[in-house]
Structure 1
Amino acid sequence: MSEKPARHLSQAAEGVRAFNHTSLSVGDDWVYPGHAYDAVGNLSHMVGMLEQAVQQSTRPVMHTYEHGRVRIDGNGDADAKVAELVAAQRDAEAAAAALTAAVQRMHNAVSPMGLDTTGIPEFEDDEDDA
């Protein structure tokens, strides 16, 4: 039995929802710049794949349209609706590319960041060793 491609996008959305929930407040695993570096790196990887996902998400429509089998509710114009879809897809691809570039810049910006441990008791032993 093959998997339904749309299910993967549902799982990705669930993962983003879980991240949004667990990252609302600072905690032991979500407090230092390195934690943000990891998160932004994963986010960069994910959004880097959005443009292709946008392109491929319309394949079933385009396949059906190319075979003259798209029907629009209320006897609507299939050519007009497919043209609308293609235009919106192009806009989404451009937005995905822009988002990818912005998140990659975020990752580059957070990359050199670390924690200044000066005066933090838990790290004093480490400073004495240096």
Structure 2
Amino acid sequence: MTDKTAAVLAGTAADTIQALNHATLGRQLDWEYPGDAYSVTGGLAHMAGMLPQAIEQIARLLKRLEEEGHLKSDRDTLGDDLEAAYAGLTIASGAAETLCGALNRAQHGLGAIAYKD
């Protein structure tokens, strides 16, 4: 377990993806061969596969706080704001599942590709 908050961990994940973006900009150490693309694609698929659980847990937190009467809206539109939040989280979860499937498909295709001198 970690002593970091969920918000800190989400920020760390975003920072890690940003670092990955920089690491894959061009020909660099460990970024030269099809196997490198295969490995990174697999890691991204694994990450995407875990997103629906995190998204569901966000929705569960909101639902609990809503049921306990601990939510308000700065715009006096709590119902509409929650509806937008729940809809967005549902769409995000489905998109993450789609992303995971697409990355798994890409990795499967990459599995047969090799470097040619």
Structure-1-length-normalised TM-score:
0.81
Helix, strand or coil: the match of 2:87?
helix
Aligned residues: 116
1:71 corresponds in structure 2 to 72
> How far, CA to CA, are the matches of 2:31 and 2:6 in structure 1?
32
2:88 corresponds in structure 1 to 88
Q: Deviations over 1:91-120 (max 9, x none)?
A: 111111111111111110101111123xxx
Q: Structure 2 unaligned runs (5+)?
A: none
Matched, 1:36 2:40: no
Larger Rg, first or second structure (1 or 2): 1
Helix, strand or coil: the match of 1:83?
helix
Deviation at residue 3 of structure 1 after TM alignment: 2.8
Counting only pairs closer than 5 Å after superposition, residues 1-130 of structure 1 correspond to structure 2 as 2-74=3-75, 76-117=76-117
Structure-2-length-normalised TM-score:
0.89
Identity of aligned residues (%): 30
Structure 1 range deviating more: 28-37 or 77-86: 77-86
Helix, strand or coil: the match of 2:116?
coil
Helix, strand or coil: the match of 1:17?
helix
Letter in 2 for 1:54: I
> How far, CA to CA, are the matches of 1:77 and 1:90 in structure 2?
20
Letter in 2 for 1:114: A
Deviation at residue 49 of structure 1 after TM alignment: 0.8
Deviation at residue 40 of structure 1 after TM alignment: 0.6
Structure 1 range deviating more: 102-111 or 19-28: 19-28
Deviation at residue 26 of structure 1 after TM alignment: 0.8
Helix, strand or coil: the match of 2:63?
helix
Q: Structure 1 unaligned runs (5+)?
A: 118-130
> How far, CA to CA, are the matches of 2:10 and 2:112 in structure 1?
32
Deviation at residue 7 of structure 1 after TM alignment: 1.4
> How far, CA to CA, are the matches of 1:73 and 1:28 in structure 2?
49
For the aligned residue pairs, the C-alpha RMSD in angstroms reads: 1.6
Letter in 2 for 1:57: I
Structure 1 range deviating more: 61-70 or 99-108: 61-70
| Higher RCO (C-alpha under 8 Å, 6+ residues apart) | 2
